[in-house]
Structure 1
């Protein structure tokens, strides 16, 4: 992949059916699961394979700061704050769930969430049903489009506030097309939720 700007973007790695894009500052002997990523100087983010042809044409600054790649808007999900939700998104991409999402009508979230999470039974006291595609999108609520799994309730609450904030930042309104970009992909959970909130960053502030 060609270098984009001063930060640049190096070759991609296919991990768990998603595409991880890495900046130039990497520790030698880069391991399979991004364990030694130099996060203070590298730009790292994960996108769906289907989104890659579009995001390849944009710089990291456009994706992560401007929240837009040409005509496609971007929503950021931080794996450091939501490791299990980020895992669900990456696994959903690997299963072929939609990467191009469209904002649904205000107030329509509850019905779509009920359609896929209505019968969900959490295994843990602080567990909650997470769905991707999001209930706030027109793709949400359709079982063929959705992957669900249990995540910490704190993450679920964090995601709700994050999506509202991201929609505002990116100018996403009803009908807007957008895709998700996962930041801090090395923090994505590597196993199922077992009742412990493993996130190192418990705050959901920007």
Structure 2
């Protein structure tokens, strides 16, 4: 029997192990610890509260391996590699920014990014800072102030996200017009405070 302890946070459901993990901020999302398909490690994940009920109908394998939850496709971003970008996403969800995104046409992202982040990318507080935006500029919802939250993040994370999104779109077969949701993995690693000039990611191997 799994043991629980009172922390003021929602417990993570555990598959195949007698442990309970707790993420820093759940924001009423769904979070589970599941067997990392292909390894013995456990992976926690969180989705937007607005799509929790839909995600609950899908298995961890569908979300994390198949990249598909019913008619929604799935993009994964790791908080272990991108703690500040995933923080921005989670805070955007809490502010009511769109939980379901739609892939926009190629080549539209630069203009939309400039709309919300400016042509100089960001008025940087820190030397290696960069403007991050959610909803993504590569989505139909991106570039519209009503849909977007911005926050400064390490430039390394920004570069990592760009390459990761391209890979995730290919992996999930996301084409123009397709609806998708974001699943944040390793969600206990989401940054609990704003970027303060130091890249604190435990895994900095993602550089593009």
Unaligned ranges ≥5, structure 2:
1-12
1:111 aligns with 2:111: yes
Find 2:195's aligned residue among 193, 196, 206. Answer: 193
CA distance in 2, matches of 1:77, 1:22: 15
Tell me if structure 2 keeps the 8 A contact 1:22–1:42.
no
**Where in structure 2 are the equivalents of 1:42-81 lying within 5 Å?**
42-81=42-81
TM-aligned CA deviation for residue 174 of structure 1: 0.5
Partner of 1:23, secondary structure, is strand
Specify the alignment match of 2:165 in structure 1: 163
Q: Which residue of 2 aligns with 1:37?
A: none
Change in CA separation of 1:180 and 1:24 when aligned onto 2, cut-off 3 Å? closer
**3-state secondary structure, aligned to 1:76:** strand
Query: The residue matched to 2:29 in structure 1 has which SS?
Result: strand
Q: 1:13 Cα shift? A: 8.5
Q: Deviations over 1:14-45 (max 9, x none)?
A: 945241422379xxxxxxxxxxxxxx654410
Equivalent-residue separation in structure 2 for 1:13 and 1:101 (angstroms): 24
- CA displacement at 1:204 relative to structure 2: 1.9
**2:32 aligned to which of 2, 5, 22:** 22
The CA RMSD over aligned residues, in Å, is 2.6
Count of aligned positions: 187
Structure 2 counterpart of 1:204 = 206
Moved over 3 A (4+): 12-16, 40-43
SS in structure 2 at match of 1:199: coil
Deviation by residue 1:51-95 (Cα, 9 ceiling, x = unmatched)? 111111110010001100011000001000000000000000000
8 A contact 2:34–2:42 mirrored in 1: yes
